[in-house]
Amino acid sequence: MALMQSNMQLEKGAKAPGFSLRNVVDDKVVKLSDFNGKPVLVIFMCNHCPYVKPKLEEIGRLGKEYLGKVAVVGISSNDPKTVAEDGPEEMKKVAAKFGLRYYLFDEAQEAARAYGATCTPDPFLFDKEHTLVFHGRLNDALNPDDTPKKHVMREKIDAMLAGKKIDEWFLPSMGCSIKWKTMI
């Protein structure tokens, strides 16, 4: 495991890079354009990461609580040849357990590269025009054993939905590195 912080590749106000990826929940292809006119929370995540595991319940709750208001989209870009637990079949089990509607498999790792995702979890919040308003942590529990006291993403979503300006738009997340495919 290589511990990393999220990096800032997309600047505030950047447009969300498009994607077209398979949703392991229903085996259908999901595109960013499917959410036109709706805010989107894109979370680069995986199954095995000890930094993601304690946040899965919160990710599931966000999806349920903001249903119809914000699309919560998990994307796994990890190479399952590196960590078998991050493959589509295991992703499907995690999605079912935590009630995830969208858990997409980025097999070619193109979405992670386009967003500049570096760790898991690495969340990006986009408004209804798919403009980046916040990149950063889900909560203030940065270590796996920490108990969250501040639900950062929930605060940012509520501010965005209320039409308030988000001043502190980048608060690095922390987690395992994305498991990139090895180039031969």
pLDDT digits (tens, 9 = 90+) for 5-16: 887 789 999 999
pTM of model > 0.75: yes
Percent of the chain with pLDDT over 90: 89
pLDDT greater than 80 at residue 59: yes
How sure is the predictor about 172, in pLDDT bands with cuts at 50, 70 and 90?
Answer: very high
Alpha helices in the chain (DSSP H): 56-65, 88-98, 110-115, 152-161
How sure is the predictor about 50, in pLDDT bands with cuts at 50, 70 and 90?
Answer: very high
Residue 7 lies in a domain: no
Amino acid at 12: K
pLDDT greater than 60 at residue 184: no
- pLDDT attached to residue 6: 83
Nearest to 120 by CA among 152, 76, 87, 72: 76
Nearest to 72 by CA among 141, 121, 123: 123
Residue 159 lies in a domain: yes
Residue 182 lies in a domain: no
Residue 43 corresponds to which tokens in the numbers above? Answer: 């979370």
Structurally, how many domains does the chain consist of? 1
- pLDDT attached to residue 1: 56
Amino acid at 133: V
Residue 60 lies in a domain: yes
Task: Determine phi and psi for 19, rounding to 5 degrees.
Answer: -150, 160
CATH of the domain at 136: 3.40.30.10
Residue-number span of the structural domain to which 142 is assigned: 19-177
